[in-house]
A and B are shown apart, each in its own frame.
Chain A
Amino acid sequence: MRVSFTVNGRPQEADDVWEGESLLYVLRERLGLPGAKNACEQGECGSCTVRLDGVPVCSCLVAAGQVEGREVVTVEGLAEYAKQRSCGTGARGTSLDEAKQWAAKGQDSHTGEGTELSPVQQAFIDAGAVQCGFCTPGLLVAADEMLERNPNPTDADIREALSGNLCRCTGYEKIMDAVRLAAARQGEAV
């Protein structure tokens, strides 16, 4: 079957989707967006977390057909999503003027050097919250959504918001630091 939906502000179509396929599979294998990670396939680990109509969900537990006509944001779109949020405009994607002025800026696709980051992504780097990095995309999406909802989270709020995301490297302390840092910077910016 064909599934049409919006991913990171852009309309996308996936063809020959198997009826029992997950949103995660469609994103990774059909749309070339490998940011959301495939680990447990049973909603235990949170590494496939994306936003579906604004709400954080495990994309491995959403049937592809269920996203028809709906909006998905993945970690690949997080920087743009955060930017639009801070600008307060609903529109996403690239405007005609921006497209005309586009020039290659020397981004390194391997190291991500030069890529624009969302505040929460920058905070994860600055706080040293990334080790192997496998859980990071899911944590970023979950943490970003919490900071949108709750700009001044307590430690308990952060722990609860991230309770569905497993990390086997960091012991979570640096992740807590990163989210506190992102919240503090968000507070300064206002």
Chain B
Amino acid sequence: MDFLRPASWQEALAAKAEHPTAVPIAGGTDVMVEINFDHRRPEYLLDLNRVADLYDWEVGEESVRLGASVPYSAIMEHLRAELPGLALASHTVASPQIRNRGGVGGNLGTASPAGDAHPALLAAGAEVEVESVRGSRLIPIDAFYTGVKRNALAADELIRAVHIKKADGPQQYSKVGTRNAMVIAVCAFGLALHPSSRTVRTGIGSAAPTPVRAKTAEEFLNAALEEGGFWDNGKIITPSVAKQFADLCAAACNPIDDVRGTASYRRHAVGVMARRTLTWTWQSYRGTDGTAHQKGSVA
């Protein structure tokens, strides 16, 4: 095994171009487990810890450009207002020790359906900035996950950053597990209200081969909210609409039975989380939870 230690982003891209099989390692919270357990013996480890750019973030007009290595603990601490859904998701990641090392770039690189960040990214709307010596491109988050632990990266590409839309309304995140800390999601659900475009977006984790959006459920809810004038009159969402939305979210799953839970439990739980997160965010939008929503505030 060779340990490649680029000091800059350009050097990292050059190293990845020269050794396309090199496994990038930043927080190490996935890669080192595989090496410790002898599940993986990469020819090259490409250490990204010295690439300082990856630890920076920029808050822009419309979106946040989040460096791939920004640890979850920094997202929780500094980006709660701009990215409330992702901040909530970050807080459910493993433990403080892991959150101090792991970041969204690793979650995307691993592309596990159980990655905690994915539902929040799908719900908020995001683009993944990837780069190689050939150039840079933005991959829409909906096109990024291509299979179980597979993503749209080419062999010579590295993840530079994620561009995540700043919250324009309340966002929520919910995750099912046997305890609060140190759990891989049995399933997870992210929901974001986008009052500026009068749309709702969702993200489902651990209930299909890849993280997915419940698009039929979103379309149903967008139409129901529009039809009832809910965005303007701020009325409580009718239970029948919430139930239909929950059922459609459950139907968007394509889960398996495994050690963490059965397929039917996952479908049921996703429906429950969909209804709850919709209720919480809508309460926040209406201001009935005592905190009338303002642009950029926490859901």
Interface residues of A (CB under 8 A from B): 1, 18-20, 22, 41-44, 46, 49, 55-58, 60-63, 65-66, 68, 142, 160-161, 163-165
Known contacts A20-B41, A57-B100, A164-B98; A42/B33 CB under 8 A: yes
Q: Mark B23-48, 1 if CB is under 8 A from A, else 0.
A: 00101110111011100011001010
Q: How many residues of B sit at the interface, in one of the four size bands?
A: 20 to 34
Question: Given A43-B94, A58-B101, A63-B32, 16 more contacts at CB 8 Å?
Answer: A18-B1, A41-B33, A43-B97, A56-B100, A61-B98, A63-B3, A63-B25, A63-B35, A65-B45, A66-B28, A142-B96, A163-B95, A163-B180, A163-B182, A164-B94, A164-B95
Asked if A63 and B96 sit within 8 Å, CB to CB, the answer is no
Interface residues of B (CB under 8 A from A): 1-3, 5, 25, 27-29, 31-33, 35-37, 41-42, 45, 47, 49, 94-98, 100-101, 180-182
Known contacts A41-B33, A56-B97, A56-B100; A61/B28 CB under 8 A: yes
A32 to B272, CA, bound (A): 52
- Chain B residue numbers with a CB within 8 Å of A62 are 28, 32, 101
Asked if A44 and B182 sit within 8 Å, CB to CB, the answer is yes
**What's the least CB distance linking B173 to chain A, in Å?**
17
Give the residue among A61, A63, A142 with the most B Cβ atoms within 10 A: A61
Known contacts A61-B28, A61-B29, A63-B28; A56/B96 CB under 8 A: yes
A57 to B36, CA, bound (A): 16
> Looking across the interface, which residue of chain A has its beta carbon closest to that of B48?
A66
Known contacts A22-B32, A164-B94, A164-B95; A57/B101 CB under 8 A: yes
> Looking across the interface, which residue of chain A has its beta carbon closest to that of B49?
A66
